Chain A
Amino acid sequence: MKRLVEIFLRRLGSLLATLVVMSFIIFLLVEIMPGDVAQMILGQSATEESVAALREARGLNDPLLERYGRWISGVVVGDLGESVYMKGVSINSILWRKVGHSVILAMTAFIIFVPLSIFFGVLAGVKEKKPIDSIISFFGLATMALPEFVSGVILITVFAVQLKWFPIVSVLPIGESIWQNLNIVILPALSITLVMFGYISRMQRSSMISVMNSDYIRAATLKGMPRKYVIFRHALKNAMLPTITIIGMNMGWLFGGLVVVETLFGFPGMGSLLMTGIKTRDVPLIEACVLLITIIYSVSTMITDIMYSYLNPRIRFQGGQK
């Protein structure tokens, strides 16, 4: 247990260091993006005077380090600043609502794809080289090869345009919350499922196969244990390890990086907000979104590492993790 606490603390330290470095890199990257936000906002009828007035009003003329300092000291106390566009509207009031939507989308996708891909992965692994295995493997490979903007369009065409089961665009009707409109989540979630299914089911299949061929499973089978018992009680526990790693590694993407899926479906989440921010050069908004995504990635990687150490006694007891 002491070892686990040590791993946790060391991970936490490196997480904080990563965030500090990343926050500066994010700030610099957004800084060197081409174009001028004041010019962008005011358009063609902008005069030099109006551009200068706007730059001054938004504090864009201050030195780089001063602006970074101002930004990061706000971020530390939870103040993400104001959008360049909406004066008097804090980013906190825009962002968290969208993050909430994205979390609901991610959770829905998670609930669909995790059991589905593990189940079919195990099935394929157990029935190795049987027709059912070939079908599952082929399907997994096919969906994995399709990028989400292709599978998404297919889903829209079939389920929204032809069958009319779900809306074409995942827009929230004004004045309604996402809980009244959960049907807008389904198609984006299915689209994510198609991407993840191949990954996870194939990983599950191959680890299942290698576990099923190991000596202790053979011994269990030879001593006359029922097959179901062997598979679920003995094999699955060990075969899940690599799958958990893969799922954990993708959590960051799932909760923060759904830019393509959200933009394609017009889903009102963090990904499409980031897209809007980039399109309109809304620097504070981009910084807030990217920083949040970085945090989600780092934390989910950390949790995966810790879970892995916990599940794998070799790391827990011998210090395999450096």
Chain B
Amino acid sequence: MRRTLLVVLLLAIPMMVFAGGDAEKAAPVKQIRVAEQVPGLITPGVWDGQAFSMNSSIYEYLVEINAETGALEPLLATSWETDAGKVWTFKLRQGVTFHDGSVFNAEDVKYTLERTQDPSIGHLKKADFEVMESVRAVDDYTVEITLKEARPTFVYQLTDYSMAILSSDYDYASLGESKPMGTGPYTMSQLVPKESALLKKNPNYWVEGLPKIDQIAIYFVSDIDASISMLESDRVDVVPFVSPEIKQRLDGVDGIKIISPYQEMRFISMRVDEAPFNDNRVRLAFKYAMDPKIIARNVAKMELNDGVFYDESPIMASLAEYKNIPLRGRDVEKAKELLKEAGYPNGLSTELYYASDHPFGKELSQTIKELAAEAGFDIVLKGYTRDIYLSQYWLNVPITLTGWGGRIDPSMLLALAFKGDGPWNESHLDDPVLNDLIEKVSREADPDQRMVYYHEMQEWFFENGPLINVQVPLLVAISDRVVDYKHPLSQLPQYKYMDIL
């Protein structure tokens, strides 16, 4: 009998212990809770682009993008001017302090910019800022940047997420990962590696009335389904980077909405310095085999031009530089004919490489394979995890499928990925006409003339290009209680403007 009692007692202990734990605590402070991917490195410059909500709230930039209009707006810089793009003068905001109390001034901007060229850091924007010849602090609140050649759109590069303004007195090499520190609207209060971060409102923030909420609680959750469960059970309010399948599942769920602040690009690039894609007829045949509507539906579960866009040039449909060229339309017979002319009457066999763990990678490659098959392309799909894809195959294979973030100023991307000497020239293009146009858009100071070059370039891509550009939505699942969710194309969500009901 004593033993039976013991067993009952043993069973009862955990029950008693756990009975008390369920009570929800009343929230004393206004907070937004976010479930994000587990970040890798978070120090600006080598920051891997995860944990956007955390870094975008701690750090600030010289300029920011207005989430509604897409226009450039002053932030730590109050104004800027240039002589046709070679010498840039930035006036800086006064009365701004870093979280550690030090005063923000021109030295910090100089430090941040020169840091891009420090070889020991391995700064991700090293190539982009190599164009700088010198950075000079004219006085405490004026910085003058002299470029080696004219870059009329240079200021847009300062919106890149790697270009957060850092304090010249702070030891980012040893503290950047554990104690991130900037001038942003929130300060790091508590960071539990690989688990969570708690950000508190910066009491000394330079804008009166901002930020609107007291704290941001960020959970690092590696499994997106677990993040969604947290959202559904009201344990978080925001989950970025959800998949189209999750969107379909959550559509119509009370209290949750899915928004798409902007699109990212997926480039399907054909390698033009080798058979078969060295023949433009083969490239055209491939493009004639595609059906944008089917791609949109299969890949993103959305309708074409309603969240998903399809083009044959690298200029995103949402940009001012975009030229609306009518889509080619699917024509399998024409595709077969072109292949025959090019010397492939029985079709041809090729390989498409992609990152299987990257959003939309599997769906997009599978859809392309099936559409192209009808025209006579026998495509073997080669999927690898993203690190293996990028380090071993990308830039060296017949067809690549790669993700590219949107850029407000497309000229930089063009120079990196489509110019003969570009480091990320996946299709191995080296076309004199295109090279020349890319040179011209990055140097031309007159915006109207720049637009003319952009339009010419898009026509060139339509006729000769090796590219299919599918623009897929970035999807964010948020609770209805979150108001004014702002997330512009710079990929930096603006939590300072957000509020919660």
Contacts and interface: CB of A to CB of B under 8 A. Distances in A.
A263 B119 contact: no
B45 to A, nearest CB: 9
Contacts, number: 166
Interface string B318-357: 0000000000000000000000000000000000000000
Contact of B229 (A116, A169, A174, A280): A169
Interface string A67-94: 0000000000000000101111100011
A139 to B, nearest CB: 17
A167 B41 contact: no
Interface stretch (B142-150, B202-210, B307-315, B386-394): B386-394
B276 to A, nearest CB: 26
Nearest to B45: A50
Nearest to B391: A39
Contacts of B83: none
Interface string B1-38: 00100110011011001100110000000000000001
Contacts of B17: 182
Given A49-B122, A263-B223, A108 B390 contact: no
B178 A53 contact: no
A279 interface: yes
B40 interface: yes
A303 interface: no
Interface string B182-214: 000000001011111110000000000000000
A183 B404 CA distance: 43
Main secondary structure of the interface of A (DSSP, over half): helix
Given A111-B14, A276-B222, A39 B190 contact: no
A210 interface: no
A41 B122 contact: no
Interface string A270-310: 00110110011100000000000000000000000000000
Given A42-B124, A112-B11, A89 B177 contact: yes
B193 A86 contact: yes
Interface in B361-413: 385-388, 390-391, 402-404
Nearest to A46: B124
Interface in A163-194: 165-169, 171-175, 180-186, 189
Contacts of A232: 3
Interface string B111-140: 000000001111110110000000000000
A263 to B, nearest CB: 7
A94 B193 contact: yes
Contact of A50 (B46, B390, B391): B46
Q: Name which of A50, A116, A173 has the most chain B CB atoms within 10 A of its CB.
A: A50
B402 A44 contact: yes
A54 B14 contact: no
A272 B222 CA distance: 9
A51 B230 contact: no
A1 B123 CA distance: 65
A276 B194 contact: yes
Given A53-B122, A88-B178, A169 B11 contact: no
B69 interface: no
A52 interface: yes
Contacts of B43: 87
B391 A280 contact: no
B124 A171 contact: no
A225 interface: no
A42 B48 contact: yes
A183 B229 contact: no
A24 B195 CA distance: 29
Contacts of B387: 35-37, 39-40, 281
B222 A275 contact: yes
A115 interface: yes
A54 B193 contact: no
A186 B22 CA distance: 11
B472 to A, nearest CB: 15
B235 A169 contact: yes
A87 B3 CA distance: 53
A86 B177 contact: yes
B38 A168 contact: no
B96 interface: no
B391 A169 contact: no
B126 A87 contact: no
A39 B222 contact: no
Nearest to A232: B3
Contacts of B7: 115-116, 119
A168 B234 CA distance: 10
A238 B175 CA distance: 60
A279 B46 CA distance: 19
A172 B222 CA distance: 15
A45 interface: yes
Given A35-B385, A94-B193, 11 more contacts: A39-B387, A40-B387, A42-B124, A89-B177, A89-B193, A108-B14, A115-B11, A169-B229, A169-B233, A172-B195, A266-B230
Interface of B: 3, 6-7, 10-11, 13-14, 17-18, 21-22, 38-41, 43, 46, 48-49, 119-124, 126-127, 173-178, 190, 192-198, 217-219, 221-223, 226, 229-230, 232-233, 235, 385-388, 390-391, 402-404, 423
13 contacts: A34-B385, A42-B122, A43-B390, A93-B193, A112-B14, A115-B7, A167-B233, A168-B229, A169-B226, A174-B197, A263-B223, A266-B223, A280-B40
